[in-house]
Every structure is written in structure tokens, then in C-alpha cells.
Structure 1
Amino acid sequence: MLYSNLNSQDICDSLELFENMDLFLGSNELTVLTGPNGAGKSTLLRLLNVRALEAGYSVIYAPQSPPGSALSEGQKQMLRWLEWMELGFHSESILLLDEPFRHLDTDFRRKALSFLRSVPGYRLIVSHDMDLLQGANRIYHLQNGFLESYGGNLDFYRMERQRQRQARRRQSEALRNRLHENRKKSKEINQRQSHRTKKAVADNETQNIPRSFINKQKNRAEKTAARLNGATERKSRILERQQKEAYEKLKTLESEPGGIVRIPCGPGKKHALVVENLGLDFGATRARENQEEASSFSTVAIPDLNLQVERGEVVWLQGKNGAGKSTFLESVLGLRRYKGKVRLGTVPFYLPQNLEHFGTERSVEEMLMDFWTICCPGSGFPGPQAQKDWRNLLGYAGIPADTIKRSASTLSGGERMKVMLTMAAILEPGILVLDEPEQNLDLVATEELLETLRQYAGAVLFVSHDAVFARELNPHRAWTFPS
């Protein structure tokens, strides 16, 4: 099935994300659409839905899961999947899903991927999920208005983009050299013309050559120079245009991590975190300093909820959706009430699953206090010098200086992550506590996050359902949260 002349302005006149783009969907192929945040993937999916309905196809279209409800994010996604699995599909059905793998636990991911592979018809999934990309038959990459097709899974996609990147760098370098030679040639023509003019004047003075003859020779030389200069200028314009096009295409392939945030590791004890016989409270959150007696709480004691994380150790926390992993992380950091013993041997930094504050219209700078209270529990608010250092770190990480003045809701997933990681760099924690940190990140931002965590010398306790992401982080051990 071929979609032709796809234009983002067909969805909204103000959207200038892509135009005259073609996309092919193979029957019974699992096709995944990826690319940077803000490239227009969701817009493209909406446009394909409209086109398919107009053509009379049977379409199942699902935008991203809306926030809200008392269920966990993973539980909401599971309910959506169960609804899709009950629907009838045939060879002409079209399934268009936007980020459907977010927050799904490992077991349900296997079921969802098996369903996508077996269901008949045409399937296009928007996702940055490494597990899903590894199981794809075809991957499309959308960036800067260009749509690139890769006929394979994540490994093939990475290998092919690396090959294309190297080839286009060579092409860009060759065009730059040709442009330099062309400009050099133009300069030599002008120098020769200037030399001939000076020589003609000198000959007239010494040899008494008629002025009419000198002027005739001069005019002929100027015409020749103008013709040659015109040719070289036209060639230069062509080369400049080709070089610009090559550079624009190269930008869509530049996916190596850049602007990596380096987080210093602060001092601490041998055991960064010790948890013994923890009982969780699944009610409202409350800071520990405002707690009542723990005996008055309605807590849930989970057997064998004991954990030790040593300094420098990376621990992968696994578990089913709704089991209480996020509640556990908030409890050990003192953001929820609990029973049992928790000992932190160092300063923690917490990255929550849902960064709700980013959905407001307040500026990033204005919200620093809110971020700090959540992510740096027990740490005093940074002073003026620390805030200045934070702004400088954002610059080193590739975030423009005016970003902190922008509305927080305008930040991309990668920019949001860098804002949080630079806060961690100011705090210099001894342990990072991360709740599904790869969610909402495109592949480039995910690579940058992985590189930051690999370079960090402290302890890391992270929740993730993406097995590919977790394996690339190379944890020392995995700890399964009891259901």
C-alpha cells in the first residue's frame, strides 16, 4: 500500500513538518515509525488515518494514551491492548498505533509483540521503544521533513544509518573540496586578468603601442574573464546548493550522542541504599517529616521486600504493571509513608516516571523549586551560585541559554531529560533512582541518557520494561519486584 504526496498542512495549515512525502506499507509487515520528538510522527499517523478512511479501509487508529485515572500508566496501556486484541482483523485492515508500548511490563510486551506479528493486514506503529524496534520488519525514520526507509530491525537500522552517515560525510567533504577548488580557480582568473591589464599599460608606456589596439585587447580579455567567471560562479552556486542539501541530509543521520551530561558522584557509605521488611502505603503521598505514627497507616506488607544497593552498583528493578514499583521508589526516598527500615547512605537524586510539571505554561526557571523538591528529597534549595552553575551546565549539554525562559511545556523529551540530569550534576548524588527514564525519549536522547549513566560512578537503581535499553546499560544485577 503506497501513500503519496503526504503533506502535514493537510492536517493543520500551520504545520510545516513535511510535504510531498511518500510512504509504503507492506502487507503483513510490522512497520515502526521513529525519529526525533517534534518531527511530525503523530501528525503523519493522523494523516494516514484520514487517507485510509477516505479510501474505504477498515482502520484502527489509537493516539497516545491520555493522562489521568487512578490506574498506573502500564495498567491503562494494558486495557487498551486488551480492547485491540478483541477486534476482528483481516487482510485489508490497517492498524495505526501511537506509542502503544509505553510503560508495558515485560510479560505483556511479549504478548503485544506476538499479537502485532500475527495480526493480518497493514501495521504502522509510532515508537522509540527498543524492544519493538528490534522486532520490526521495516523502520521509517522521520526528521527535518525527510523520511528514510530501512528494511530491517533495530540492529540493521543502526548499521545502515552508520554506513549512510559515513558516505554522506565523504560526499559533503568532496563537495566542500570542489567548491574550494572552484573559488580558487575564479580567483586565479581575476588575478590573470589584472596582470594582463597592468602589462598592457606598461607596454603602452615603453613600446608606444596604439591606444586603440590596447583597448581592443583589454576588452577581449575582460570578456573572456567575465565569461569564465560567470561559468565558475554558476558552478559554485550549484555546488553550494548540493553541499547544503548534503548537509541537511547528513543532519538527519547525526545520531551519535552529543552534549552528554556528566554527573559527579558525591561521597557516601558502602551501602548507598538498604531496605528491610518494607510495608508500602498505596494511598496519597506525604513527606516523611509530616508523617503520623506509621502504625496508624493502612500499609501493604510485601514478602521479602529487602534490598541492598552498594556504591557504584547498577540494579535493574523489574516487575508487573501495578505491582508497586513506583510506590516503592517514592517510599525509600521518603516521599510516601511506609513501615519497615530504609537507610540511605548517600545523597539521592530521583527521576519520577511522570514529569507532570512540564505540562504547565510556567518557565523552566520558575519551576526549578518544584523540580528540586521532588527530585532532590531532603536537599536544600540551591543558592544563586548553584543556579548559575546549572544554567552553565545546560549550555554545555547543548541546551540554548534562553531555554530556561521558555514555557516548560514546549521542551522536547530530550530537553526535559537534560534539564533533570543537569540538576543531578549540581546535587552530586551518590545514587540515582530512576523510574522508567527512557520513556518519552527519541533514540538520540536515549543514547545520550545511556552514555550519561555509563559514565556515572555512583549507584543506580532504575525501573525499566525495555529489555534492550536495560541490557545496553549493563546492570550488575536485576531485582524482580514481588507481585
Structure 2
Amino acid sequence: MLSFSNLHVTHGSRNLFRNLNLGLQIGELTCLTGPNGSGKTALLSCLVAACERRGLDYYLVRQHETDELLSGSPGQERADRIFRAIRELPHRSLLLLDEPSNHLDRRAFDRMCSLVLAQNQYLLIVTHDRRLLRLADRILHLEAGRLDEYGGNLHVYLEQRQREGEARNREWKGMQRQVRATERQLQIGRERQKKRRQKAEAGNRTQKNPAALVNFQRNRADRTDARLENAYNRQIAGLQRDRAVLQNRRIANGVKFRLPSIVSSRLPAQILSLASVNVHYAGVPLWPKAISVGVYSHQRWALMGANGSGKTTLLQLMAGLREPDCGTTWSALRKPVLVSQTRLNDLDDLSIRDYILNRAGHLDHRALGKIMHDAGLIAVSAQTGLNKCSGGERIRLDLMLAMQTSADMLLLDEPTNDM
């Protein structure tokens, strides 16, 4: 068994996790899942650092590594990298794969699974892909700094998560009731003390008691009020601490992601036309036969094909980001927006705030906060660097910004990767 202990990662003032312990069995397929931004990729980096300190053999296929291949296909790049890693890794080494099924077509995915399942290595895969989770021997769930273990595949994982969620929700509701009951008792105590004080003051006025006695009664009432207030406040504070701990242990249902509705502009019936287009790589045409296609307003298209078949290139032609080497294009679009499957770019050194302003123009503080909230970046500071965001957080932000524009057409290249 390969064991790692006391793993911790901090981003600024935010603790992603601390004092995590992890053990891996050789030949066992362990999958790591959890919400976007919970620290799964950071945990892999922690394991890499631990392996280097201990002199262990390992190989990490990162989430967004790319090579400069002539094909320009992220799917082909990723498949080649994974297959090379699996073939060349020494015996009893640690293989770490971060979202390996991203970009892969069905054929490459099936081949990857066959190779992975045949390995006698320590294996940890970060994934949201249910196809991989169904093959897992063990599933680890990382969320809110906790690493929960579920022995079994996707069915066992979902069943246990549901049971835990129901139990913790019942416990949460019971804690909420205790807090409300204690707050009611505090309010009742305040009202009772107020009535006693009023009755005593009325009696003093009627009986014309001396000032010394009146002051003594008033001071005693003040001390009683303070003692009751402090007792109830301590009780409420304790319950709130327990509630905060329980809130951290509750089973989450994921981050809510709110896309705004788009107001369509007035467009002609046909908005885009490609006539006998083709693109050449090293003098060789990408498609054996030139492509002709017409796109009409209010249509929804799904573009499918094998890795390297030219799907991304076709989207670039439609967006006007690339000219065909032969054929003609015609477009009535004023502002098409392409959300690329390549997340990394020259803007990664910017903060989230500066990235949003760079994409959306001038925004006040409230509008900026709404974009981050709707993108599900609730617990993330606007000053956080874009390169500190997870792949899922990044694509949610890119989708939100694309929907904020007055786009005539949205072109989404593998939008569900990393989510």
C-alpha cells in the first residue's frame, strides 16, 4: 500500500484542505471526484511533491497540458500523452490522471480504459465522468476540505451519498430548531424582565420608596438582565458553532449555475454559409471532401466526430477566426462568440476581476458580483488569480461572460469538459 499523510494546500487565506490522509492499493482503480474548485488538482500536485521527496516513480497527466502538434486536435494530443504514459511507466509506479476523458472520442476512451484496467500500478484518476466512475474499485470525494471514501463503483457511491445527505439534513434541521427555540427563550426572558422592571418602577412611584432602595432594585435588575443575556448568548453561540460545523459536513448538491436568457437580435433566415471549404495542414487537406453547410437562425446544432476530424477547425471557420484555404464563407453575423475548449491563454495572470472587465468592459461592483455569483464563484474572491481557478470554475465563468454579450451566435467547443 502506498500511503500519504498530512497533505495540505492553501491558496492565499483560503485553506483548500489540511491534514488529509490517502492510501492507494496497487492494481486498484481509485477515482477522485468532487465539486469544481474543491482542490482535486491541487491534491494531485501535493502527491507529486510527496513522490519527489520520497524518490518514488510517478507520472502525472495534467488537465490542460498541450503539445504543438500539426493536427491541432486536443483529443489526439491527450490520447497520445495518456497512452505513452501508460506504456512507459515503470512497474509499481504511481499514475495520476487529471480528467483523462476530456476531449477523447469513444474509440480513444475505450482504448484508454482497457489500458488502465490492465495496469499493475498505483492509479488515481480525477474525474467527473460517470463512465469512469462506474469502473472504479473505490471513489474518493473531496469537498470543503474533507476527503470521504466510498468503497465501490458509481452505484455504491451515489447510494451512500444519498443516505448520508438525508441523515445530515435531518441533523441540520434539528439544529436549526434548537437555535430558534433558544432565541425564543431569550426573547421571552427579555420580555419577562421588562415587565418586572416596569412593575417595580410603578410600585416605587406609588409607595414613594427612598432613592437608595430604588437604585438598589434597578442595579439588581440590570445584573439579572445581563446574566440572563450572557447565558442565552453563550448557548446560542455554541449552537451556531455546532451549526457551522454541521453545515460544513452537509452533503452538497453542487454549485448553482445561472445562465441569463439571451435576447435574440433581428437576423435573416440564413445567417451563415460555408461553400466547398477546406483547410490544409502541411499541404494536405483536412477533409477528404470539401464541406458545404448552411446555418439558419434559431437552430441548435450538435457537432460530433472522431478526434482529429476537424470539429474545432470548423467552428473557427464559422466564427470567422480562420480563413479557409479553399472555398468561400458568407456570414450575416455581427458578433459570433466561440467558447474554446482550450482554457489556458495569455490572460491567465489576470485576477478574476480584471479578466471579467477585460471581457465585458466597464462594470460596477454590483454587476461584477452578480456575474461571479451566477457563475457559481460564490466562495472565491474577485482578486483571486485566474490561474488559481479550477477548470470547471473557468468554463462556467467563460460561459457566463459569453452569455452576457450581445452575441448573434454561440459556438461552444466541448463546454462540459471539467464540469
Which TM-score applies when normalising by structure 1?
A: 0.67
Residue 260 (structure 2) aligns with? 261
Alignment of 1:64-463 (within 5 A): 64=63, 66-71=65-70, 72=72, 73-87=74-88, 92-154=92-154, 157=157, 161=161, 164-165=164-165, 167-199=167-199, 231-250=231-250, 253-270=252-269, 273-282=272-281, 299-303=285-289, 305-309=291-295, 311-334=297-320, 335-344=322-331, 348-355=336-343, 356-361=345-350, 363-364=354-355, 367-368=358-359, 394=371, 397-398=374-375, 409=387, 412-413=390-391, 414-415=393-394, 417-429=396-408, 431-439=409-417, 441=418, 443=419
Bigger drift between 221-230 and 81-90 goes to 221-230
> Per the alignment, in what secondary structure is the counterpart of residue 86 of structure 1?
helix
Give the distance between the partners of 2:350 and 2:176, measured in 1 at CA: 44
The structural deviation recorded for 1:262 is 2.6
Kept after mapping to 2: 8 A contact 1:267/1:346? no
Kept after mapping to 2: 8 A contact 1:349/1:424? no
Give the distance between the partners of 1:200 and 1:219, measured in 2 at CA: 12
1:131-158 C-alpha deviation (Å, 9 max, x unpaired): 4344434332323322233445556656
Bigger drift between 213-222 and 230-239 goes to 213-222
Q: 1:346 to 1:366 in 2, by over 3 A?
A: closer
Give structure 2 stretches of 5+ with no counterpart.
none
Residue 34 (structure 1) aligns with? 33
Q: 1:159 to 1:207 in 2, by over 3 A?
A: same
Kept after mapping to 2: 8 A contact 1:394/1:419? no
Kept after mapping to 1: 8 A contact 2:35/2:254? no
Q: 1:206 to 1:350 in 2, by over 3 A?
A: closer
Kept after mapping to 2: 8 A contact 1:30/1:138? yes
Bigger drift between 180-189 and 302-311 goes to 302-311
Give structure 1 stretches of 5+ with no counterpart.
284-296, 370-381, 444-483
Q: 1:166 to 1:300 in 2, by over 3 A?
A: same
The structural deviation recorded for 1:125 is 1.3
Could you tell me which amino acid in structure 2 is paired with residue 352 of structure 1?
S
The structural deviation recorded for 1:394 is 2.7
Give the distance between the partners of 1:144 and 1:172, measured in 2 at CA: 17
Residue 288 (structure 1) aligns with? none
> Per the alignment, in what secondary structure is the counterpart of residue 141 of structure 1?
strand
The structural deviation recorded for 1:271 is 5.0
Q: 1:30 to 1:268 in 2, by over 3 A?
A: farther
1:392-451 C-alpha deviation (Å, 9 max, x unpaired): 973673568x9888865455543554345433443242x432222223x3x3xxxxxxxx
Give the distance between the partners of 1:367 and 1:94, measured in 2 at CA: 41
Give the distance between the partners of 1:263 and 1:207, measured in 2 at CA: 76
Bigger drift between 114-123 and 199-208 goes to 199-208
Q: 1:191 to 1:303 in 2, by over 3 A?
A: same
Say how many residue pairs are matched. Answer: 408
Could you tell me which amino acid in structure 2 is paired with residue 23 of structure 1?
L
CA RMSD of aligned residues (A): 4.5
Q: 1:63 to 1:15 in 2, by over 3 A?
A: farther
Kept after mapping to 1: 8 A contact 2:38/2:145? yes
The structural deviation recorded for 1:255 is 0.8
Kept after mapping to 2: 8 A contact 1:139/1:157? yes
Could you tell me which amino acid in structure 1 is paired with residue 111 of structure 2?
K
